[in-house]
Amino acid sequence: MTAKLIDGRQVSATVREEVSARVKKRLQDGKRAPGLAVVLVGEDPASQIYVRNKRRDCESVGFASFQYDLGADATQVQLESLIDDLNDNPEVDGILIQLPLPPHLDADPLLLRIHPDKDVDGFHPYNLGRLCQRKPELRPCTPAGIIRLLDSIGTNYKGAHALVVGASNIVGRPMALELLLKGATITVAHRFTQDLAGYVAQADILVAAAGKPGLIKGEWVKPGSTVIDVGMNRLDSGKLCGDVEFDAARERAAWITPVPGGVGPMTIATLLQNALEACERRDIG
Ligand SMILES: NC(=O)C1=CN([C@@H]2O[C@H](COP(=O)(O)OP(=O)(O)OC[C@H]3O[C@@H](n4cnc5c(N)ncnc54)[C@H](OP(=O)(O)O)[C@@H]3O)[C@@H](O)[C@H]2O)C=CC1
Ligand SMILES: Nc1nc(=O)c2c([nH]1)NC[C@@H]1CN(c3ccc(C(=O)N[C@@H](CCC(=O)O)C(=O)O)cc3)C=[N+]21
Ligand SMILES: [Mg+2]
């Protein structure tokens, strides 16, 4: 079997069109455009690219984009006061602090300081808690974007065994909660897991999010399964690759996401969806 590709660029374009149409409708109704604030600290080249893409997509769907580029020497107190200002700013519906921050800054208290209603990354404990309790509000972008991809191929979650490789707060853990919410039976693998190969062989849905190129061998993959590769690893050659041995996995899976062009574009599209939702919710409440 050669797996069909799950086209994240195509599905994300559909999401952007949906968001764009809802923004247009708001403007026709005399309402304001959603506002998204993206905060970049320092000059990490990968972060600069991601932030540029986020701002570009933001503008392409008609949002107001608020940009904050702080030097690598920005202090914790400076960031705290910026977050306080953005929390109070009525034109800002969503606040995103690009991670990772330079090592002298502590991300956790900053993420906690973002008002949960403006937490478009879905990283605040309030929003993670809501997902945990089956009543999600703002959902972490990468896992929610992956669910959208899985829905787009008609995934049957109930009765499926889903394996999530990686247990970070921003990808692996919320991914497991999203799959659980859909009715899958979940396993979460991490650094201390023994016999990763054995779990992969039993996974109808595999989500690889460890950040280790080639960690998942193609020959482990369950025939007929769906493989979602979240890994974004830059090789010395400059080439971007995932955590899964793509060519070999493709010979066994039924569906697979490419890297690039799979999960990455969905993360940004879901961010836009979250910002619109945050905006619509603030209008009512
Ligand atoms: N496409 C996209 O939109 C996005 C892509 N990414 C990419 O996804 C990957 C993961 O990101 P993130 O969650 O932030 O990374 P982290 O480094 O925070 O988390 C990685 C997780 O994988 C686990 N892990 C590491 N090595 C192994 C191993 N050998 N076997 C099993 N589990 C292992 C770690 O275990 P432990 O907890 O024990 O340390 C940890 O839970 C990265 O490549 C990142 O670039 C991230 C965000 C968005
Ligand atoms: N507060 C915060 N929120 C995040 O959501 C967040 C973050 N910080 N820090 C870094 C990670 C990583 N991340 C990606 C988003 C898009 C692509 C993406 O668009 N990837 C393209 C290719 C990009 C390229 O070519 O380099 C693709 O896969 O096709 C990748 C990775 C969001 N993150
Ligand atoms: Mg995210």
Whether 87 is in a domain gets the answer yes
- 231-260: average pLDDT: 97
- The CATH number assigned to the domain holding 85 equals 3.40.50.10860
Contact 30, 281 (CB under 8 A): no
Whether 256 is in a domain gets the answer yes
Dist. CA 232 → ligand 2 center (Å): 8
Which token pair is 74? 């920005």
Query: Are 156 and 193 members of one domain?
Result: yes
Query: Are 178 and 96 members of one domain?
Result: no
Instruction: Count up the domains in the chain and report the number.
Output: 2
Whether 284 is in a domain gets the answer no
ipTM above 0.95, yes or no: yes
Q: Which residues, in sequence order, are CB contacts of 142 under 8 Å at separation 6+? A: 170, 171, 175, 209, 230, 263, 266, 267, 270
pTM (predicted TM-score): 0.97
Confidence at residue 283, expressed as pLDDT on a 0 to 100 scale: 81
Question: Is a pLDDT exceeding 90 seen at residue 185?
Answer: yes
User: What is each CA distance from 64 to 37, 58, 59, 61, 181, in whole angstroms?
Assistant: 8, 7, 7, 9, 33
pLDDT tens per residue, range 60-98 = 999 999 999 999 999 999 999 999 999 999 999 999 999
Query: Are 165 and 237 members of one domain?
Result: yes
Whether 228 is in a domain gets the answer yes
Query: Are 153 and 40 members of one domain?
Result: no
Catalytic residue list contains 217 = no
Whether 173 is in a domain gets the answer yes
Question: Is a pLDDT exceeding 90 seen at residue 285?
Answer: no
Whether 248 is in a domain gets the answer yes
Domain that holds residue 239: 139-262
Residues having CB within 6 Å of any atom of ligand 1? 142, 165-168, 170-172, 189-191, 193, 196, 209-212, 215, 230-233, 263-264, 267
Query: Are 79 and 172 members of one domain?
Result: no
Catalytic residue list contains 54 = yes
Query: Are 51 and 92 members of one domain?
Result: yes
Query: Are 56 and 105 members of one domain?
Result: yes
- The CATH number assigned to the domain holding 184 equals 3.40.50.720
Query: Are 105 and 148 members of one domain?
Result: no
